[in-house]
Structure 1
Amino acid sequence: MTPPLTAGVLATMQDLLAVPEGRGGAVWRLDPAARQLDANVIRVLPGDSVARHVEPDLDVLLCVLAGSGELTVGDEAQRLGPGCVAWLPHGTERALAAGPDGLVYVTAHRRRPGLSIRPAEAGTPRRAAEGGESACLLHRICPGCDRPAEDIGARYCSRCGTELPSAEGV
């Protein structure tokens, strides 16, 4: 039997936004191991972006905490500012671009089940990782230079050579 999680306040908005200037990427993650939900606070530095991608399996809820930017869903660009909430259904192509003040947002989505090994079905294309990509793509944000990796299977940043985080911990 799984022990109950401790519920309650995990952080304050002041804590989440008090990140040293110039630091991008994941600045906070929901940590309890026995959770059903994944949540992350992401900072995209001014002028940076998250490349177009599709989350094949999970719906994602995104809420802007600070800054500004643009969310592109398919071919439609939408302005983002503090308090904007966006729903990104699975299968939707999306991209984010930070404005001149950067963009800080929280994502929430169902937690992915653990990976399992099973035989491939005949005629089914294989994905880069079993179970698809992480909904928030944190494993593709370089901890060294905060740039997103363009290649879905990249293990190292093509810009600075830093090893990228594992998708399993996201």
Structure 2
Amino acid sequence: MEHQGARVVADLGRELAAASPHTDGALWQLAESGRDLDANLLRLPPGRTVAEHTDPLLDVLLVVLEGGGELRTDAATQELRPIRVLWLPKGSRRSLAAGVDGMGYLSVHVRRPGLTIGGPPADEGGEAACLLGQVCPACGRLATERAARFCWSCGTALEA
């Protein structure tokens, strides 16, 4: 694989400024081919939340860029404000709540492999459960919990 040099892939300040303050969900996604990372610029409007969830497979780095709010975990509630960086270890339960000004943040983690369509391997029996309601309509990722209401990766509301 040919490696390309470092380059600017986004101006996150410009992306945030161009979006409505009431926009909910992903404003930008890293889309470079051959990457090993996923990165998403997300916005939560004032008072909105990302429901409690757990990512059992990936650590996530969350960087608050504008506004603020709270991160709630089993251990504590953390204040979120611009340029605060949080590490969310895999397996940790967490929820986010935007404050009165809303919150814009960057989420970065190791890239998950894409979803594939097909039945179970030949040596496994039974029928596959219908997971269509757990697939994010914006980025195609599968929710990690059955009761998830928002995509863990880009923040988009999942269809019921």
TM-score bracket, normalised by the shorter chain, equals: 0.7 to 0.9
Unaligned runs of 5+ in 2: 135-140, 145-150
- Paired residue secondary structure (2:104): strand
1:77 aligns with 77
Equivalent position SS for 2:15: helix
Write out per-residue CA displacement over residues 63-114 of structure 1, whole angstroms, 9 at most, x where no aligned residue. Answer: 0000010001125211100011100011110100000000100010000123
Q: Secondary structure of 1:11's match?
A: coil
- Aligned equivalent of 2:153: 137
Which piece of structure 1 moves more, 111-120 or 31-40?
Answer: 111-120
Q: Is the 8 A contact 2:64 2:105 kept in 1?
A: yes
Q: How many residues align?
A: 140
CA deviations 1:12-42 (Å, max 9, x no partner) are 2431321223212100100112110000000
Q: Which piece of structure 1 moves more, 18-27 or 112-121?
A: 112-121
What is the aligned partner in structure 2 of residue 163 from structure 1?
A: none
Deviation at 1:127, TM superposition (A): 10
Structure 1 pair 14/115, CA: closer, same or farther in 2 (3 Å)? closer
Trace 1:13-24 onto structure 2 (pairs within 5 A): 13-18=12-17, 19-24=19-24
What is the distance in 2 between the residues matched to 1:136 and 1:15? 24
Query: Which AA in structure 2 matches 1:26?
Result: A
Going from structure 1 to structure 2, the CA distance change for 1:95 and 1:27 (only over 3 Å counts) comes to: same
TM-score (norm 1): 0.70
